[in-house]
Amino acid sequence: MANNSYTFFNRNLFFSGDDDRLLEHKMKHFPRRIILVRHGESEVNEDEAVLEYVPNYKIKLIKKGIHNARTTGRKIREIVSENGELDDFKVLFYVSPSSRTRETMEEMICRGETFEKSKIVGVREECRLREQHFGNFQDVEERKKIKRSRNRYGKFFYRVPDGESSADVYDRVSTFLEGLWRDMESNKFSNEMNLIVVSHGLTILLFLMKWFNWTVDEFEGLANPTNCEYRVLELGPDGEYSLALHHRLDHLKEWGLSDQMIEDQIIRARGLRAFLDQKCLDASSDDDTESSDESVGDYNSDEK
């Protein structure tokens, strides 16, 4: 099981009054969701050679990327408004400084048609959420060689010549998260808040790795999000965030999460009390036909 699973058990094994007060604080002051969105299709998708003469951070969206960003914005509006039933939601955007991420965010908002100004608490450009640095202008053939070498060496520790390793990106994403956690603990948010992070595929994976304390081996097995794909971390009944509250378990499997990583997400989604109760029921039940998918079905609402 991912390391954080053991931390989760140890921290919540005994339900004291202090635990109850901490849980009450989390449910009142922690954002309801943290949604990670990869940018839309860009000029690189049409012609990778553009990287030879346009700086990576200036790469723009193409028409398909604009369309998909608007569609994603509407989907996320449905999520945070709970299919239109919730009106008191707020959103706060964190965005990488790249042109394609800023354009993705702008198209998601869609000039106020999807997210009106009254719902947007703020937009914060965050340099620590930028793309992995591959050097300056990038020769296409050399870029292909680098990717092949990285796959042989290992994605996390391989350092791009004149650029960054995934470990470097992990370190700066970690400093961003440590600041975010301090903000959460100091009551700077409320439960009506939804944080929307618009960034890059690798950066999103490393965000999740840090958040859930996944190991390097577990990171190596993860699939990169596709353009405009999103990951929803939702606050569960025990004050823990989980991917399993919104997304279906088969999708977590497709994204490269192991069975143990998925079990950790289920614990977070249900709360430890409910998880232990279910374990007791399973142990005493003679019905061997019930699958793990059926036992967590109520916690999955991923529409994709």
Q: What is the pLDDT of residues 89-137, one digit of tens each?
A: 999 999 999 999 999 999 999 999 999 999 999 999 999 999 999 999 9
Residue 72: which pLDDT band, with cuts at 50, 70 and 90?
very high
pLDDT at 201: 98
Give Cα 150 distance to the centre of its chain: 23
Active site residues: 39, 131
DSSP H helices in 54-164? 63-80, 99-109, 140-153
pTM given for the model: 0.88
40 appears as a binding residue in the annotation: yes
Query: What is the structure's pLDDT at 293?
Result: 52
CA atoms within 13 A on the CB side of 47: 5
| pLDDT at residue 218 tops 70 | yes
Q: Which of 206, 195, 226 is nearest to 40 (CA)?
A: 226
Q: Does the annotation list 187 as a binding residue?
A: no
> How far apart, in whole angstroms, are the C-alpha atoms of residue 151 and residue 158?
9
Q: Is 282 helix (H, G, I), strand (E, B) or coil?
A: helix
CA distance 54 to 40: 18
| Residue 165 backbone phi and psi in degrees, to 5 | -95, 165
Q: 276-291: per-residue pLDDT in tens? A: 666 667 666 655 544 4
Work out the end-to-end distance of the chain between its first and last CA atoms, rounded to an integer number of angstroms: 27
What does the pLDDT average to over 180-191?
Answer: 93
Grade residue 274 by pLDDT with cuts at 50, 70 and 90. Answer: low
Helix axes 272-284, 3-12, angle to 10 degrees: 100
Tokens 């350092």 map to which residue? 159
Does 100 count as an annotated binding residue? yes
Spatial contact of 211 and 31, defined as CB atoms under 8 Å apart = no
* List of residues 6+ apart from 55 with CB closer than 8 A: 136, 137
- DSSP-assigned beta bridge partners for residue 241: 235
* Whole-number average pLDDT of the chain: 89
Is residue 14 predicted with pLDDT exceeding 80?
Answer: no
44 annotated as ligand-binding: yes
Q: Which of 173, 198, 169 is nearest to 65 (CA)?
A: 198
29 known ligand binder: no
Cβ neighbors of 193 (< 8 A, separation 6 or more) are: 31, 32, 89, 90, 91, 92, 121
Q: Which residue has the higher pLDDT, 224 or 290?
A: 224
What is the arithmetic mean of pLDDT over 237-246?
95
In this prediction, what percent of the chain has a pLDDT beyond 70? 84
Q: How far apart are CA 139 and CA 295, in angstroms?
A: 50
Q: Is the pLDDT of residue 216 over 60?
A: yes
Read off the pLDDT band of 26 (50, 70, 90). Answer: confident
Q: Does the annotation place 39 within a ligand binding site?
A: yes
Those residues with Cβ within 8 angstroms of residue 74's Cβ, 6 or more apart along the chain or in another chain: 114
Q: Is 111 known to sit in a ligand binding site?
A: no
d(CA 22, CA 302): 29
* Spatial distance between the Cα atoms of 267 and 60, rounded to a whole number of angstroms: 40
**What letters, b where the CB count within 10 A reaches 16 and e where it falls short, cover 253-290?**
eebebbeebbbbbbbbbbbbebbeeeeeeeeeeeeeee
Decide if pLDDT at 233 tops 80. Answer: yes
User: Pick from 237, 194, 181: which is nearest to 20 by CA?
Assistant: 237
Alpha carbons 289 and 263: distance in angstroms, whole number? 19
| Closest to 272 (Cα-Cα) out of 6, 8, 2, 1 | 8
Binding residue per annotation — 45?
yes
80 is in an annotated binding site: no
Query: In the structure, what pLDDT confidence band is assigned to residue 5 with cuts at 50, 70 and 90?
Result: very low
